[in-house]
Structure 1
Amino acid sequence: MPLIDTHVHIDFYPDPEKIAWQYENLGIYAMFVTNLPELFEKHYKSFGGFKYVRLCLGYHPQVSSEYVLNETLFQKLVLKTRYIGEVGLDYQNEHADIKNRQIKSFEFITSPLFNKGRIYSIHSKHTEDMILEILIQNKVKHAIFHWYSGKLSTLERIVDNGYYLSINPKMLKSKHGQKIIERVPLNRMLFETDGPFARYNKQLIYPSSFSEIYSEFEKSIPTFSETVFKNFKRLLIEKDLFK
Structure 2
Amino acid sequence: MHSPTFAPLIDAHIHFDKYTPEEQQEIVLSFPAQQVEGMIAVSMNLDSAQANLELAKQHPRYIYPAFGYHPEQQLPSLKELEAFFCWIEEHIGHAIAIGEVGLPYYSREEVQRAGLSFDQSAYIDLLEQFIILAKKHHKPIILHAVYEDADIACGLLEKHQFTRAHFHWFKGSKQTIRRMANNGYFISFTPDILYETEIRELARQYPAEQVMAETDGPWPFEGPFQGRMTHPAMTRRVIQAWSEITGMGIERAARLFYRNTKRFYHLQD
Normalising by the residue count of structure 2, what TM-score does the alignment of the two structures yield?
Answer: 0.78
- Whether 1:31 and 2:55 are equivalent positions in the alignment is no
Greater mean alpha carbon deviation, residues 28-37 or residues 39-48: 39-48
In the TM superposition, what whole-angstrom CA distance separates every residue of 1:24-68 from its partner, at most 9, and x where no partner exists?
Answer: 6454221111110232123322324612210110200011x2534
What letter matches 2:46 in structure 1?
Answer: P
8 Å CA contact 2:97–2:134 kept in 1: the answer is no
Q: Find the counterpart in structure 2 of residue 5 from structure 1.
A: 11
Higher helix content, 1 or 2: 2
In the TM superposition, what whole-angstrom CA distance separates every residue of 1:139-180 from its partner, at most 9, and x where no partner exists?
Answer: 223111101111121011111111101111213311111111
Alignment partners' CA distance in 1, 2:48 and 2:205: 35
Displacement of 1:81: 1.3
Q: Find the counterpart in structure 2 of residue 40 from structure 1.
A: 49
Greater mean alpha carbon deviation, residues 129-138 or residues 165-174: 165-174
Displacement of 1:106: 0.5
Q: Find the counterpart in structure 1 of residue 124 from structure 2.
A: 103
In the alignment of these two chains, the number of paired residues is 238
8 Å CA contact 2:191–2:234 kept in 1: the answer is no
- Whether 1:187 and 2:209 are equivalent positions in the alignment is yes
Change (3 A) 1:19 1:182: farther
The structure that has the greater radius of gyration is 2
What letter matches 1:60 in structure 2?
Answer: H
Change (3 A) 1:184 1:32: same
Change (3 A) 1:8 1:180: same
SS of structure 2 residue aligned to 1:101: helix
Normalising by the residue count of structure 1, what TM-score does the alignment of the two structures yield?
Answer: 0.85
- Whether 1:229 and 2:258 are equivalent positions in the alignment is yes
**Partner of residue 76 from structure 1, selected from 84, 87, 95:** 87
- Whether 1:174 and 2:196 are equivalent positions in the alignment is yes
8 Å CA contact 1:2–1:27 kept in 2: the answer is yes
Alignment partners' CA distance in 2, 1:132 and 1:173: 28
Following superposition of structure 1 onto structure 2, how do residues 1-243 of structure 1 map, counting pairs within 5 Å?
Answer: 1-15=7-21, 17-18=24-25, 21-22=28-29, 25=32, 26-48=35-57, 50-63=60-73, 65=74, 67-68=76-77, 70-78=81-89, 79=92, 80-91=94-105, 92-93=108-109, 98-111=119-132, 114-126=135-147, 127-199=149-221, 201=224, 202=226, 203-220=228-245, 221-222=248-249, 223-237=252-266
SS of structure 1 residue aligned to 2:146: coil
Q: Which runs of 5+ in 1 are unaligned?
A: none
What letter matches 2:258 in structure 1?
Answer: F
8 Å CA contact 1:142–1:235 kept in 2: the answer is yes
Change (3 A) 1:23 1:54: farther
8 Å CA contact 2:190–2:213 kept in 1: the answer is yes
What letter matches 2:17 in structure 1?
Answer: D
- Percent identity, please: 21
Q: Which runs of 5+ in 2 are unaligned?
A: 1-6
Q: Find the counterpart in structure 1 of residue 4 from structure 2.
A: none
